[in-house]
């Protein structure tokens, strides 16, 4: 699902109005009506007090349309206009007049703190104060209103985006914003729903279709995209009945050191479980017996050294290599990695200590093959791209890094983000139970396994992150957040594949429209 920028949303409005020859305010009418339908379906006429707070732009106008429908359907509604300026939008004014027609009184005007109404915890707040048009810091009395919402503990439903948040930059005052229970967002979710510093703007979100021009939605390229089953399913490569293991590639995992052989076990097992035909682990001698015993499906090649990697020499021809897991940064290992990168031609997934070594030896970056996949956790990422001031800055720096070195960067986190040049893909699978030792090793293994099976690097990264997250979500059902282990994620990779062909997820809005037209 595409995440449109604020500018693209405004343009979509214009294109739609032209293409569909819409009368003024029609999109606002659709927006308000859809929100009403959403509430009406759930409330079925219940007389819970609903406080609809409207700003003076089009977000406020949406709130007024909603209020009008709630009033005409006999709901217990109070409407307020938060008088935050003088530039009331044209469509707002149209909706303002229409709400008066049905309620026979003007909405209450709020100008300062003494105007705030009492809100009971069992009431409902509709937040239609600021939408995507917020363009500056908010006055303190309006921030006080947001805190009044919070203090009431009432269920807060935000229209389009919780008020006070920008779509494309951080907020300055963490206390001066609405934190919604639910946000109904028009046409596309907002980027801030997925970034660690801003995701608490809303607990849940849903996209509302207001009939924006289908061609515009389909053909407009966005900087951000959500990755879920709908997006990865077309990438899946079915297996031929007469296939043999040679068709699915030979994966190699290079890593391990004394005390860290388990990481290699997890990654190697993940290469096999994601479908590679053959898998070899290159490890120090100390790991030979444990790995051969615990993972009979894998082959093992050992370094000359017992405890660490000192020279990465092998006589196999791997189709993809995952490197760095549990490897350490011993001087011999650093030299071994340098020598390896100079000669290597196979596609790479670079993780953990290999990333740390590279970040401390920047000259190695130019030896990384084009389209290699780097899988840093936040600290490793910082070593690679430098410190960032906020999430937006982090994404910009990661994009610039990805563009400069022609590599894919997977930023691991609650919503893992795959950075491919200037394009960013946000994964929606995964859960906090996966914040556990070895989880990253599994991801590296899965992606290496997909590369072996001739998924291209971008597909391998996207599909790999999806499968990893989905396997974690499925394993969660059995083990719970606390007891989920990385090896459980490996156990569920197969289920994650099978799940691809189970009940489809909610189709994307664009697809529904396409089918109906
Ligand atoms: N396709 C769609 O998605 C559709 C979207 N629609 C809806 O339109 C919304 C966008 O509407 P919008 O552009 O009128 O801006 P909005 O968010 O209402 O707020 C800006 C207003 O507040 C003002 N203002 C700004 N900052 C301020 C501040 N700090 N403190 C005080 N005032 C401030 C600013 O005025 P200014 O003073 O800057 O002239 C302006 O009046 C969008 O989120 C969605 O809900 C639907 O109706 C139709 C289809
Ligand atoms: K809002």
Q: Which of 4, 27, 85, 169 to mutate to test the pocket of ligand 1 (most atoms within 8 A of CB)?
A: 85
Query: Which residues, in sequence order, are bridge partners of residue 417?
Result: 411, 426
Q: What pLDDT score does 507 carry? A: 52
Compute the distance from residue 162 Cα to the ligand 2 centre, in Å: 4
Ligand 1 contacts CB of residue 55 (under 6 A)? yes
Ligand nearest to the CA of 59: 1
pTM for the structure as a whole: 0.93
515 belongs to a structural domain: no
In a 3-state reduction of DSSP, which class is residue 313?
A: coil
Ligand 1 contacts CB of residue 187 (under 6 A)? yes
Q: What pLDDT score does 246 carry? A: 80
The total domain count for the chain is 2
Closest Cα partner for 111 from 81, 75, 71, 70? 81
Ligand 1 contacts CB of residue 162 (under 6 A)? no
> Which CATH number characterizes residue 263's domain?
3.40.1190.20
514 belongs to a structural domain: no
Q: What pLDDT score does 505 carry? A: 62
The Cα 183–Cα 201 span in angstroms is 9
Parallel/antiparallel/unpaired status of strands 423-427 and 417-420? antiparallel
Does one domain contain both 214 and 253? no
Does one domain contain both 38 and 146? yes
Phi, psi of 204 (to 5 degrees): -130, 160
Does one domain contain both 147 and 286? no
74 belongs to a structural domain: yes
The Cα 282–Cα 264 span in angstroms is 9
Does one domain contain both 289 and 338? yes
Does one domain contain both 262 and 185? no
The answer to whether 441 and 355 are in contact (CB under 8 A) is no
Ligand 1 contacts CB of residue 160 (under 6 A)? yes
162 belongs to a structural domain: yes
Q: Report in angstroms the alpha-carbon separations of 495 from 272, 273, 310, 498, 502.
A: 14, 11, 38, 5, 10
183 belongs to a structural domain: yes
Compute the distance from residue 60 Cα to the ligand 1 centre, in Å: 8
DSSP for 337-402, written as a single string: HHHHHHH--S-EEE-HHHHHHHHH-GGGGGGSPTT-EE---HHHHHHHH---SSHHHHHHHHHHHH
511 belongs to a structural domain: no
Segments forming the whole domain that contains residue 413 = 232-236+247-499
Question: Does 62 show up as a binding residue in the annotation?
Answer: yes
In a 3-state reduction of DSSP, which class is residue 336?
A: helix
> Which CATH number characterizes residue 168's domain?
3.40.50.10260
Q: What is the pLDDT of residues 219-272, one digit of tens each?
A: 999 999 999 999 999 999 999 888 887 889 999 999 999 999 999 999 999 999
In this prediction the ipTM stands at 0.97
Q: What is the pLDDT of residues 430-441, one digit of tens each?
A: 999 999 999 999
Q: What pLDDT score does 516 carry? A: 46
Ligand nearest to the CA of 17: 1
Q: Which two tokens stand for residue 334?
A: 């650093």
Does one domain contain both 261 and 405? yes
Instruction: Give Cα 84 distance to the centre of its chain.
Output: 33
The Cα 486–Cα 438 span in angstroms is 5
Query: Which residues, in sequence order, are bridge partners of residue 301?
Result: 282
Give the dihedral sign, CA 490/495/500/506. negative
Question: Does 431 show up as a binding residue in the annotation?
Answer: no
Does one domain contain both 7 and 64? yes
Does one domain contain both 405 and 485? yes
Does one domain contain both 167 and 280? no
Does one domain contain both 211 and 253? no
Q: Which two tokens stand for residue 21?
A: 């020859």
40 belongs to a structural domain: yes
191 belongs to a structural domain: yes
Ligand 1 contacts CB of residue 86 (under 6 A)? no
Radius of gyration of the chain (CA): 27
The Cα 96–Cα 67 span in angstroms is 10
Residues of the chain with pLDDT under 70: 504-517
Question: Does 256 show up as a binding residue in the annotation?
Answer: no
Does one domain contain both 426 and 494? yes
Does one domain contain both 336 and 376? yes
Q: What pLDDT score does 509 carry? A: 45
Ligand 1 contacts CB of residue 132 (under 6 A)? yes
Phi, psi of 366 (to 5 degrees): -75, -10
């Amino acid at each position: 699902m595409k995440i449109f920028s604020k500018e693209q949303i405004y343009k979509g409005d214009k294109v739609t109005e032209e293409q569909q020859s819409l009368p003024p305010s029609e999109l606002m009418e659709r927006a308000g009506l859809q929100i009403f339908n959403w509430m009406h379906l759930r409330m079925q006429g219940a007389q819970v007090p609903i406080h609809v707070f409207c700003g003076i732009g089009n977000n406020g106008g949406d709130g007024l349309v909603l209020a009008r429908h709630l009033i005409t359907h006999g709901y217990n509604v109070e409407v307020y206009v938060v008088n935050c300026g003088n530039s009331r939008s044209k469509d707002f004014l149209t909706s303002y007049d229409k709400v008066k027609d049905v309620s026979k009184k003007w909405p209450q005007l709020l100008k300062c703190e003494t105007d705030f109404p009492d809100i009971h915890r069992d009431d409902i707040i509709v937040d239609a104060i600021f939408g995507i048009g917020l363009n500056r810091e908010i006055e303190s009395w309006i921030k006080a209103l947001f805190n009044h919402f919070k203090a009431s503990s009432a269920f807060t439903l935000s229209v389009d985006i919780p008020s006070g948040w920008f779509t494309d930059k951080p907020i300055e005052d963490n206390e001066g914003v609405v934190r919604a229970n639910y946000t109904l967002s028009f046409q596309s979710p907002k980027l801030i729903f997925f970034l660690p510093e801003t995701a608490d703007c809303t607990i849940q979100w849903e996209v509302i279709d207001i009939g924006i021009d289908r061609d515009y939605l389909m053909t407009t390229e966005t900087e951000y995209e959500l990755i879920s089953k709908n997006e990865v399913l077309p990438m899946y490569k079915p297996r031929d009945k007469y296939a043999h293991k040679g068709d699915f590639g030979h994966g190699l995992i290079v890593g391990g050191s004394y005390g860290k052989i388990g990481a290699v076990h997890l990654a190697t097992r993940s290469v096999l479980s994601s479908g590679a035909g053959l898998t070899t682990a290159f490890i120090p001698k100390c790991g030979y017996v444990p790995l051969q015993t615990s993972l009979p499906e894998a082959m093992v090649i050992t370094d000359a050294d017992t405890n660490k990697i000192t020279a990465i020499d092998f006589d196999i021809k791997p189709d993809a290599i995952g490197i760095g897991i549990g490897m350490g940064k011993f001087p011999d290992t650093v030299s071994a990695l340098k020598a390896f990168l100079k000669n290597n031609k196979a596609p790479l997934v670079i993780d953990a200590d290999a990333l740390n070594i590279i970040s401390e030896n920047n000259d190695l970056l130019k030896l990384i093959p084009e389209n290699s996949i780097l899988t840093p956790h936040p600290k490793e990422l910082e070593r690679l791209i430098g410190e960032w001031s906020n999430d937006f800055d982090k994404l910009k720096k990661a994009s610039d890094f990805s563009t400069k070195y022609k590599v894919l960067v997977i930023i691991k986190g609650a919503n893992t983000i795959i950075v491919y040049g200037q394009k960013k893909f946000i994964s929606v699978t995964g859960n906090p139970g996966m914040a556990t030792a070895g989880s990253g090793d599994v991801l590296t293994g899965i992606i290496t396994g997909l590369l072996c099976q001739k998924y291209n690097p971008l597909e391998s990264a996207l599909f790999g992150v999806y499968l990893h997250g989905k396997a974690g979500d499925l394993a969660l059902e059995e083990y719970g957040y606390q007891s989920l282990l990385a090896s459980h994620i490996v156990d569920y990779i197969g289920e994650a594949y099978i799940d691809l062909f189970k009940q489809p997820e909610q189709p994307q809005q664009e697809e529904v429209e396409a089918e109906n037209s």
